[in-house]
Amino acid sequence: MSRMAKLELDGKVYELPIVEGTEKELAIDISTLRSQTGYITLDDGYGNTGSCKSAVTFIDGDAGILRYRGIPIEEIAGKSSFVETAWLVIFGRLPTIEDRERFSQLLTDNSRLDESMLKQFAGFPPNGHPMAILSAMINTLSTHERQEANTEAQVEALAATLISKVRTIAAASYKASVGEPIVYPRYDLKYVENFLHMMFSVPYREYEPTPEVTRALNLFLALHADHEQNCSTSTVRMVASSQANMFASCAAGVCALWGPLHGGANVAVIEMLEFIKASGMPVKEYVAKVKDKQSNIKLMGFGHRVYRNFDPRSKILKKAADDMLASMKIEDPLLDLSVELAEAALTDDYFVERKLYPNVDFYSGIILRAMGIPLDMFTVMFAIGRMPGWIANWKEIHDDPKGRIYRPRQVYIGQTGEHWAPREER
């Protein structure tokens, strides 16, 4: 017999079912609360509201645990590529050799943009933000691609098309912004290498990444593939609940991710380092100002809203960043500052006691900068990585025969008893 929670309202007791997830998460099912009592719940910002049941990702923020489809992120990082991770996240199982080869081929076959789409990049202003271009062009894609998703094969084809073309759009928007010719994808390169080729090759010189760069970018994308019901993912589900197609739903996710409080955290890390460098302030002095609440100085890239322990992704990216920087022999004062800042914070009791450890954004910002990715492309890189998670959540909505359009309630706090007044009396 299922457990029940009891709620007393106006002298009457109501019973509400308790739902338990497979990882022992507990929730009170309030879906019948309004019909039974006339009340709704108020949870500004949805901080304590479970908006759905999902089988994609599990997070235990207190223990620093992240799992995709039940598999620890540490195992995925050590054994998987971004392409394999994308399949796992979307379809809920590890791909067979045949699955992986077929999906990889679909990614390769769908990497090119229609020539009419390439002409549209010239219509954006040179200083147009790449996230605006990315969202617009993903929506444009839906006019070029048929959106049937009635079988797994059709969903796979759509997913491969979107995951493949999103990197082509991203690279093309960058090339257009710097006045360089758009580089076509190569059919002999893997996913990450092909993106770097389209980003950094020019007609007179092919870009060839080192193994460490390829490894670091693969990790960056895989570690960003999904992260439960964050702002952009819940936006994708909201839009998908209206039966909007995959591309339209994911374009909405791009817009949500664009907000600086969501996808802009790794940008804020670099901006912080640039401020420290420009001010000439010693790192120890900056750290001291962070601890002074009157200074309004913040330590960006440390701590996390969900993780109350180490962000498990940050440990993985730190190793990748160390290996990549060592192999590239880059001389960059900002990267030197980042190392010094991390060491200073990790040895300071103030931050250790509050468990303000470097998070994934701290190291991802360092990695992207070292690769030569421009600052306004950082959030675009996040979007490329997050695409599998958005697609997986769209698929959960699409596959649910009992699914209804999302429609949150509100508590109205506006004026009452007002009436229309003629213009001459206003």
C-beta atoms surrounding 212 within 10 Å:
18
Q: Measuring CA to CA, which residue among 240, 232, 242, 221 is closest to residue 395?
A: 240
119 Cβ partners below 8 Å, 6+ apart? none
Mean pLDDT for the stretch of residues 89-116? 96
Q: Is 361 a catalytic residue?
A: yes
Beta-strand pair 65-68/71-72: antiparallel
Gap between the Cα atoms of 159 and 162, Å rounded: 5
Q: Measuring CA to CA, which residue among 252, 189, 387, 157 is closest to residue 199?
A: 189
Least confident of 26-40, 182-196, 351-365, 377-391: 351-365
Q: Is 370 exposed, middle or buried (0-12, 13-18, 19+ CB in 10 A)?
A: buried
**What proportion of the chain, given as a percentage, has pLDDT over 70?**
100
The helix-helix angle for 191-200 and 211-223 (nearest 10°) equals: 110
Q: What is the dihedral of CA 280, 285, 289, 291, to 10 degrees?
A: 150
Amino acid residing at 167: R
Annotated catalytic residue, options 197, 224, 227, 304: 304
Instruction: For residue range 344-353, list pLDDT tens digits in order.
Output: 888 888 988 8
Please say whether the beta carbons of 162 and 250 come within 8 A.
Answer: yes
Does residue 392 carry a pLDDT above 90?
yes
Please say whether the beta carbons of 301 and 359 come within 8 A.
Answer: yes
Gap between the Cα atoms of 213 and 13, Å rounded: 61
Q: Is 304 a catalytic residue?
A: yes
Please, what are the domains in the chain? 4-50 (2.20.28), 72-258+374-399 (1.10.580.10), 265-371 (1.10.230.10)
pLDDT at 373: 94
pLDDT at 353: 86
Instruction: For residue range 196-213, list pLDDT tens digits in order.
Output: 999 999 988 999 999 999
Cα 181–chain centre separation: 29
pLDDT at 58: 97
Please say whether the beta carbons of 15 and 30 come within 8 A.
Answer: no
Q: Measuring CA to CA, which residue among 390, 277, 315 is closest to residue 77?
A: 315
12 Cβ partners below 8 Å, 6+ apart? none
Gap between the Cα atoms of 285 and 302, Å rounded: 17
More reliable by pLDDT, 186 or 326: 186
Please say whether the beta carbons of 13 and 7 come within 8 A.
Answer: yes
Q: What is the mean pLDDT of the chain?
A: 93
> Which residues share a beta bridge with 302?
358
Annotated catalytic residue, options 224, 226, 227, 361: 361
Q: Measuring CA to CA, which residue among 276, 259, 255 is closest to residue 267?
A: 259
Gap between the Cα atoms of 238 and 26, Å rounded: 23
DSSP 380-393: HHHHHHHHHHHHHH
Gap between the Cα atoms of 93 and 85, Å rounded: 10
The token pair that represents 107 in the structure block? 């990614």
More reliable by pLDDT, 255 or 176: 255
Instruction: For residue range 281-304, list pLDDT tens digits in order.
Output: 999 999 999 998 888 888 998 888
The token pair that represents 289 in the structure block? 């100002």
The token pair that represents 321 in the structure block? 């960043």
Does residue 330 carry a pLDDT above 90?
no
**pLDDT bracket for residue 308 (50, 70, 90):** confident
pLDDT at 1: 59
**pLDDT bracket for residue 309 (50, 70, 90):** confident
Instruction: For residue range 154-200, list pLDDT tens digits in order.
Output: 999 999 999 999 999 999 999 988 889 999 999 999 999 999 999 99
Gap between the Cα atoms of 86 and 385, Å rounded: 9
Q: What is the dihedral of CA 34, 36, 39, 44, to 10 degrees?
A: -50
Q: Is the dihedral of CA 105, 108, 111, 115 positive or negative?
A: negative
pLDDT at 232: 97
pLDDT at 286: 93
Mean pLDDT for the stretch of residues 299-328? 87
Does residue 12 carry a pLDDT above 70?
yes
C-beta atoms surrounding 350 within 10 Å:
12
Mean pLDDT for the stretch of residues 365-380? 93
What 3-state class would DSSP assign to 16?
A: strand
For the stretch 296-332, what's the b/e string if a residue is b when 16 or more beta carbons lie within 10 angstroms of its beta carbon?
A: ebebbbbbbeebeeebbbbbbbbebbebbbeebeeee
> What stretches of 53-99 adopt beta strand conformation (E)?
57-60, 65-68, 71-72
Does residue 15 carry a pLDDT above 70?
yes
pLDDT at 307: 87
